[in-house]
Amino acid sequence: MKRHTVILLILTLASSLNIAASSADSLLRELDRVIAHKDEYAAGRRRMIDESQANLARVTDDRDLYNIYRSLYSHYRAYSGDSARWVAGRRLDVARRLGDRSRILSSHLNLAESYSLAGDYYQALEILDSLPRDQMESYHLRYLYTVYGITYDRMAKADGIRSNSIAYERKEAAYLDSTLNLSDDSQPDYYYLYASHLAQAGHSADALKVLDAAARNSGYEPTSADLTLRASICRSLHDTQAEIEALAQAAIIDLRNGVRDYSALPALALLLSDRGDASRAYQYIRCALDDAYLCNAKSRTHEILELIPAIDTSYHEIELQRIRTQWILVAVITLLAIVLGLCLLYARRKIKLVHEYSARLNRSNAELQHSNRLLEESNREKVRFITEVFDAHSEYISQTEKFRSRILNLLAARQYKKIADLVESESGESAELKALYARFDTIFLRLYPGFLAEYNSIVRDDCKVDPDAGALTSELRVLALMKIGIRRSSRIAELLHYTPQTVYNYKSVIKNSMRLSKEQYDEYLASTLS
């Protein structure tokens, strides 16, 4: 009887584990589908932004203008850091014209939050510290404490000195408690705040119960923040399967809402990398890094770049293992070929059969040599691309470290004006853009060395370019993207940081320079690059 009970318990536990694993796998497959269509979800947010911007041109009353800027800020908040900061500033200007103290406070809080999300923490804290708390309503104070908490949370993650991080974490916890004291269970984020408070106090099991209680409420829809918090709690409880599910759900919500500044997907990538799913982890971290760049979220970009080396290492270890396996297969095939040769020598007297086997062996050897050449070339290309990726990451990290050191030196000297000038300077972005173009030109011309010669063969004499040039012109850069399959002007504009009108103009210049009919031009774009 006891033995039957033990067997039943084991079977029940195994069944539960299989169900949990199946649920996590299903969510990861859904997340893969969402990532494949993330441009469509981003387009939905872009449409909402365009609608709000169109309304700006139609309003004349400052109250209506203030409300439109408030809507625009909510759309830009986690989508484009620079735009969010610009909108917050414009909203503050309108609030001042209205002379409304409440609106001015709200606008200042928006501006501080936009600085915090962009990684300009000290600018955010300067704004927050300057606001008069005795003039604030309860909802102002909750927003104030929330922005303080966000700022100190990100400062704790970004600071490389452990003692500083601990100090920032304590401040974050203090402001979380202050926000919680101003909340009650009728407010949407009450359960999140209460669960966060319990988790920070080390009561993870109780925090999870609070989130479970919220999930049982009718009409409750978990947010990305709720699910990210649940994942953190599950990690402290060593429930990895539940952590993966929560992070996957949070990432799906973020991407479907067109959000670009998020934490769930990078955390999931690192977790999957530790569990051996390096290919999927690499896909997720690249997606997160691309979105962070597009959002210009400096703190998030830095956070993701710190994760990439570990994920890259895991990914390339698996690639190397795959290459080793291929070499083993080649060795086995070679051994079989040798055995076949011995058999042919043994059957030499059967001339017809020997000729047949010799012909087969020659074909096999030719195919094997061709495969070896392709494999060697593939390996060399992979090494080149790996080097390019690490060079790019290393260069960006070096620039970030230099920028950080310079800021710290200026802070130590209390030269705040120079800090503001340095942060507002756009020269760094211009240099980075030039470096991006140079890196793209180098890689593209290495992959397609005959591109310039092919271009010269189909354009007018006055439009030809130097076939030995090591760089592309702006027009040729657009043409290069079109040749590799990227045809939408909006997508090309995103990749090259041009305006859609500029891309359209370049396309016209390219088409007009060619000695081709429309059908020939279309065939040229559809043909494979040489």
pLDDT digits (tens, 9 = 90+) for 351-365: 877 577 667 767 867
pTM for the full predicted model: 0.56
pLDDT digits (tens, 9 = 90+) for 177-229: 988 898 887 787 888 888 999 998 889 999 899 888 888 876 778 888 889 99
- Residues sharing a CB contact under 8 Å with residue 325, sequence separation 6 or more, in sequence order: none
- Which token pair is 135? 């003039």
Confidence (pLDDT) at 130: 94
pLDDT tier, 378 (very low <50, low <70, confident <90, very high otherwise): low
Residue of 286, 298, 293 lying closest to 389 (CA atoms): 286
Q: Give, in degrees to the nearest 5, the angle at Cα 170 between 166 and 176.
A: 140
pLDDT above 90 covers a percentage of the chain that reads: 25
The most confident of 85-99, 147-161, 302-316, 317-331, by mean pLDDT = 85-99
Domain boundaries, the chain: 448-530
Confidence (pLDDT) at 262: 86
Confidence (pLDDT) at 17: 44
Which residue is listed with tokens 């202050």? Answer: 178
Burial of 398 per CB tally in 10 Å (0-12, 13-18, 19+) = exposed
AA identity, residue 315: Y
Domain 448-530 maps to which CATH number in 1.10.10, 1.10.3470, 2.60.120, 3.30.70?
A: 1.10.10
Confidence (pLDDT) at 1: 47
CA distance 153 to 169: 6
Which residue is listed with tokens 């290919």? Answer: 279
- For the cut 90, the answer to whether the pLDDT of residue 449 exceeds it is no
Q: Give, in degrees to the nearest 5, the angle at Cα 38 between 33 and 43.
A: 145
Q: Is 485 left (phi over 0), alpha (psi -120 to 50) or beta?
A: left
Helices (H), 413-426: 416-424
pLDDT tier, 389 (very low <50, low <70, confident <90, very high otherwise): very low
Cβ neighbour number for residue 208 with a 10 Å cutoff: 21
Give the chain's largest Cα–Cα span. 107
pLDDT tier, 252 (very low <50, low <70, confident <90, very high otherwise): very high
Window from 239-243, 481-485, 499-503 with minimum mean pLDDT:
481-485
Confidence (pLDDT) at 9: 46
Residue of 258, 320, 198 lying closest to 37 (CA atoms): 258
pLDDT digits (tens, 9 = 90+) for 130-179: 999 998 999 999 999 999 999 998 888 887 788 888 998 899 899 989 88
DSSP-derived secondary structure for 249-284: HHHHHHHHTT--S-SHHHHHHHHHHHTT-HHHHHHH
8 A C-beta contact, residue 513 and residue 460: yes
- For the cut 80, the answer to whether the pLDDT of residue 346 exceeds it is yes
CA distance 461 to 133: 71
CA distance 238 to 242: 9
- For the cut 70, the answer to whether the pLDDT of residue 461 exceeds it is yes
- Residues sharing a CB contact under 8 Å with residue 418, sequence separation 6 or more, in sequence order: 410
